[in-house]
Amino acid sequence: MSEESFKDSYFELVVDGTKIEGAERDRIKYVRVFQYADGPDRFEFAVHTEMQMEREFPNASAYKLGAAIEIKTGFDGTGTTIFKGEVSRIEGAFGPDTKPTFKVIGFSYDHRLSRQRLTEHWESQKYSYIVSDIAGRCGLSADCTATSETYDYVSMNNQTYLSFVLELARRVGYEVTCDDKKLVFKPADSSKQ
């Protein structure tokens, strides 16, 4: 009977460019990434405190709101990036018989397009220009394949930027993705449909 070889699973958490290692990494209970087709991807990870009485968030300076997060996963110590985003919320869980746990939650950078509903308009513009303009307003760069038609008047009525950009993409057969801090607006890959 031959022996099967199993690879050790691996994850790496990078916060504001610094890899979390050693005892700090050992405090991480789990890391989860949720990917959505029509909205921002989300992550969460839980951090245990060392003692039951410890009520202070460990390494609070690293896990601050707005901190850049990169999550890598793979096997045998080599990781592939599966998520890039930013911390948007920190929650505490305090049970009577368990160590306090803090949950760090955040989203991919395109969540910035979902912050509020707005009513706006653009005059004499292409959809690609409008998407680039919206990306800039949300602190993102844009990689937009130029659309051909210029529209006299384009209105966004009580929508989030994300729902509006997705609507524009549907109208012209484009797809919208977010690659780190870059909003991508390009023709849909017909081979994937």
pLDDT for 52? 47
What is the average pLDDT across 38-51?
Answer: 86
The three-state secondary structure class of 187 is: strand
Residue ranges of domains in the chain, CATH in brackets: 9-112 (2.30.300.10), 115-192 (3.55.50.10)
Q: Residue type at 176?
A: V
Instruction: Reply yes or no on whether the pLDDT at 190 is more than 70.
Output: no
Q: pLDDT, tens digit, for every residue of 135-160?
A: 999 999 999 999 999 999 999 999 99
Instruction: Reply yes or no on whether the pLDDT at 59 is more than 80.
Output: no
Contact indicator for 49, 113 with CB cutoff of 8 Å: no
How many Å apart are CA 87 and CA 58, to the nearest integer? 15
- Report how far Cα 159 is from the mean position of its chain's Cα atoms: 20
Give the mean pLDDT of the chain: 88
What is the average pLDDT across 119-124?
Answer: 97
- Positive or negative, the CA dihedral 102, 23, 71, 136 is positive
